[in-house]
Amino acid sequence: MAGLVPFTIPLSWFYMGLVSYLLARCGLQVKSSSSWLRHLGAIATGAMLLTAWDLVLDPAMSQAPFPFWTFQEEGSFFGMPYRNLVGWVGTGAIYMSVAAWFWRKKTISLSRQELNLPLITYLVNFAFGATITVVALDSRFLLPTCLSVVLGVIPAIALWWISPANQLNEMDMSLDNAMSDDEVKVPATQVNMAVK
């Protein structure tokens, strides 16, 4: 990969893969005890989010007035070869699978508030590619941009939205309820002994 694409691309691919997987795993509420189907769903969803980002990234980076890279052969999908998209899905799925394997015994439970940074990272990177694609290229590139919105932006926001609103407050509230007078009965004799 080195020498073929700018150094920042693998770096951005790594962190976009991470935020895609975190949004998918937390949004689908995958726990260490979850079924393999739920884990597989998070892997597939994360790979879809990552690939959706590529739908605006590749046209922006390969066909802009100052391209970052070129494809050896022009592909049928807005200049991209279809195998590039298959490669993104496959590589994304492998990346997410490795993450799932490393975190297989760990429940990653982030609240919606804690997922703000991954969501913002995803949306800003999407906006960067989409802006270049829509502004610098002609109107026919609105289709991959719209596909990317449907397959990436909307699911990312939905996954963020369905994640628990604020787990810390929910935990604090459950502790407060457990410690309330209604829940904890202390015999008066124990209180008197403690005072003496």
Question: Both tokens of residue 154?
Answer: 């909307």
5 forms beta bridges with: 2
Q: Which alpha helices (DSSP H) does 28-164 contain, by range?
A: 36-63, 82-102, 116-136, 142-148, 154-162
pLDDT in tens, 75-106: 777 777 888 889 899 999 999 999 999 998 88
Distance between alpha carbon 175 and the CA centroid of its chain, in Å?
A: 31
pLDDT given for residue 81 in this prediction: 80
pLDDT in tens, 23-71: 999 999 988 888 889 999 999 999 999 999 988 888 777 776 776 666 6
Give whole-number Cα distances, 30 to 46, 53, 110, 156, in Å. 12, 23, 11, 16
Report how far residue 151's alpha carbon sits from residue 180's, in angstroms, rounded to the nearest whole number.
46
Strands (E), the chain: none
Distance between alpha carbon 150 and the CA centroid of its chain, in Å?
A: 15
Report how far residue 173's alpha carbon sits from residue 56's, in angstroms, rounded to the nearest whole number.
43
The average pLDDT across 125-154 equals 87
Report how far residue 12's alpha carbon sits from residue 14's, in angstroms, rounded to the nearest whole number.
5
Please check whether residue 21 is in contact with residue 42, taking contact to mean a CB–CB distance below 8 angstroms. Answer: yes
Please check whether residue 64 is in contact with residue 137, taking contact to mean a CB–CB distance below 8 angstroms. Answer: yes
Considering only residues 172 and 167, tell me which one the structure prediction assigns the higher pLDDT. Answer: 167
pTM over cut 0.85: no
129-143, 148-162, 164-178: segment of lowest average pLDDT: 164-178
Give whole-number Cα distances, 43 to 35, 83, 100, 183, in Å. 13, 20, 8, 42
pLDDT in tens, 101-123: 999 888 888 999 999 999 999 99
The band of 181, judged by pLDDT with boundaries at 50, 70 and 90, is very low
Considering only residues 94 and 8, tell me which one the structure prediction assigns the higher pLDDT. Answer: 94
Q: Work out the percent of the chain whose per-residue pLDDT is above 90.
A: 42
Please check whether residue 121 is in contact with residue 26, taking contact to mean a CB–CB distance below 8 angstroms. Answer: no
Collapse the DSSP code of 98 into the 3-class scheme (helix H, G, I; strand E, B; otherwise coil) and give the result. Answer: helix
pLDDT given for residue 185 in this prediction: 46
Question: Both tokens of residue 53?
Answer: 């980002």
DSSP annotation of 31 reads -
pLDDT given for residue 141 in this prediction: 80
pLDDT given for residue 33 in this prediction: 82
Q: 5, 19, 2: which is closest to 125 by C-alpha?
A: 19
Residue with tokens 């070129």: 70
pLDDT in tens, 127-139: 988 888 888 777 7
pLDDT given for residue 73 in this prediction: 75
